Homo-oligomer: A and B are copies of this chain.
Amino acid sequence: MSRPRNDSRRMALLDAATQVFAKHGLQAPTSLISKTARISEGSLFTYFKTKEELVTALYLDLRVDLASAITSNFPRRSSVRVRFEHVFRRYVTWGVAYELKRKALRSITLSNLVTPAVRAQSSELFAEVDRLLADALQQRLMKDLPAGMSSQALKAIAEMTMDLIDRDPERGDEYLSAGFQMLWGALARKP
Contacts and interface: CB of A to CB of B under 8 A. Distances in A.
Contacts of A79: none
Interface string A145-186: 110110011011101100110001001001100110111011
A110 interface: yes
Contact of A186 (B110, B157, B164): B157
Interface residues of A, number: 37
Contact of A182 (B2, B40, B42, B143): B143
A137 to B, nearest CB: 13
A25 B164 contact: no
A187 interface: yes
Copies in the complex: 4
Contact of A153 (B27, B110, B155, B182): B182
A152 B146 contact: no
A111 interface: yes
Contacts of A190: 191
Contact of A146 (B111, B178, B188): B178
Contact of A143 (B2, B157, B178): B178
Contacts of A191: 185, 190-191
A110 B143 CA distance: 32
Contacts of A159: 156
Given A153-B182, A156-B156, A185-B191, 17 more contacts: A25-B111, A27-B27, A110-B110, A143-B182, A143-B185, A145-B178, A146-B171, A146-B178, A149-B179, A149-B182, A157-B157, A182-B186, A182-B187, A185-B187, A186-B186, A190-B191, A191-B191
